Amino acid sequence: MGQHGAAVDDAEQHSVVDALNPRALAGIARDRQSRGVKIEVFSDVVCPWCFIGTQRLEHVLAERKLDADVTYRTFLLDPNTPDEGKNVPEMIRQKYGRDPAPMFARVEAEARKSNIPLESAKQPMSWNTVRAHTLLRHAIPLGTQRALAKALFEANFLDGKNISDPAVLAELATAHGFTKERAAELIADEGELAITKKEHDVPRQLGITGAPFFIFDGKIGVSGAQPEEVFRQVLDDIAK
C-alpha cells in the first residue's frame, strides 16, 4: 500500500502508520467500480488539525472538480473527555509543563494558509464528541455528512460553541437533513452512543493512532494536515 506525507508539526501531528491492516481495511473499502474516488476520513471535530486537513482536501477536490465519495469515520481524540469538557490550555500546561501560546500560534498559522480564521482563544475547551459522531454516522444516508462535519468544525472552532450540548447539536442537525425530534432521539439513545464508541475501535485495528488520517480507494494512506500538494499527488497516483 502506498502512503504519503509526514506531520505538519511533530508536536501536534502523528507520522504515517507503517502499514495498514489489509483485513480491517477491507471492511471499510467501498466498491471501486462505482464513480469517483473513495476517501475515508478518520477525524474528530475537536481536532484543529482535522479541521485544517479536511479543508485542504475539500479545496483540492473542488479545484479539480472531482467526483469523490468522502466518508467521515469516527475517531475520538480523547474517549475519556467528560461531559463538562476539558480546558485545553490547562491540559497542555499540565502535560508539557509549558506555555501553550506558541503551540496555538503554529496551528493558527497553518489554519490561515487554508483561509480558516482560527483563533484558539475563542474555544478553550475540548468537548466529548460521541454525540456529534453519532449524528455524523446517521448523516451518511441523508447525503449531508460532509456539510455537517464542516458545520461542526466551524461551530466548535470559529463560534466557540459547546458541540457536546444536545441543544447545539440539534440546531446544527436540523440544518442538515434531520428533524429536531430525530436528532434529539439519536443523541439521547445509549445504544446509538455505544455503537459510536465501538466504531472508535476501527482506526486502532487499522494501526491508525492519530487524526486526521485519510484512506484513498482503500490503498493509500495519508496522515496529518498535509499541504494541498500532497493530496494532489495522491489523486494523481490514484488516476494512474
The pLDDT of residue 3 is above 70: no
Mean pLDDT of the chain: 88
* Confidence (pTM): 0.86
Residue with cell 494541498: 228
Residue pLDDT, tens place only, 90-137: 999 998 899 999 999 999 999 999 999 999 999 999 999 999 999 999
The pLDDT of residue 56 is above 70: yes
Q: Which domains does the chain have, with CATH numbers?
A: 3-84+128-239 (3.40.30.10)
Q: Order of strands across the sheet with 220-223?
A: 3-4, 220-223, 213-216, 37-43, 68-74
Contact 132, 45 (CB under 8 A): yes
Over 44-67, what HEC string results? CCCCHHHHHHHHHHHHHHHHCCCC
Distance of CA 198 to the CA centre of its chain: 17
